[in-house]
Amino acid sequence: MATRGFQGRARSTDGRVPPGQYVTDDFPVLTAGPTEFVDTSDWELTVSDGIVSTTFDWAALHELPMETITTDIHCVTHWSKFDTTWRGVPIESLFEAAGVGDFDFALVSSYGGYTTNLPVTDLLDRDAMVAVEFDGAPLEAEHGGPARLLVPHLYLWKSAKWLSEIRLGDDEDQGFWEAAGYHNYGDPWSEQRYTSD
């Protein structure tokens, strides 16, 4: 069940919670703007590198290999949620299907105009995916459905909701929150919340 607040916040000391975080059983809804409602019949994801550009519709995305992972997630607003289960297309499979080249950085865009930046290695070397299900059900719009980026080892603002584009390049362009003073990388274990951290 998702709400806009926290229920039963408690500090945990079992080693799974990064510094400054609290555990919640809820799934708080936090966005930079209003919820975007994108129907799967209209949804598209473009993956490009300045030379190659490939667009996947909902059916084409579902033709790619899917995986299910269970992972903890951490929000920059100090909440952590344990054992969340996601199903989606690993970014490595997506990039392979798109035929994009080897680049250092990604700028991720959402329906509604939100952007965030990441090193490509963080999309390929960990559990990053285009998530289409959460806890065995289609991903709800308030949590980024029909498809969102999931990069669970970084603060959740890096896991852009309502995913529409991943653009690769050699230069790092700052995204929405990064340009507003949030950390370029966002590692919860190092408390990289802001550029001064």
Query: pTM of whole model > 0.95?
Result: no
pLDDT, tens digit, for every residue of 116-155?
999 999 999 889 999 999 999 999 999 999 999 999 999 9
pLDDT at 162: 96
pLDDT, tens digit, for every residue of 73-109?
999 999 999 999 999 999 999 999 999 999 999 999 9
List own/partner pairs for 81-86 with CB under 8 A and 24 or more apart. 81/23, 81/24, 81/25, 81/26, 81/27, 82/16, 82/23, 84/27, 84/134, 84/135, 84/152, 85/134, 85/135, 85/136, 86/129, 86/131, 86/133, 86/134, 86/150
pLDDT, tens digit, for every residue of 9-34?
544 447 899 999 999 999 988 777 77
Report DSSP letters for 116-155, one per residue.
EEEEHHHHHSSS-EEEEEETTEEPPGGGTTT-EEE-TTS-
pLDDT at 28: 87
* Spatial contact of 132 and 88, defined as CB atoms under 8 Å apart: yes
CATH 3.90.420.10 fits 22-28+40-102+122-163, yes or no: yes
pLDDT at 4: 41
C-alpha gyration radius of the chain: 16
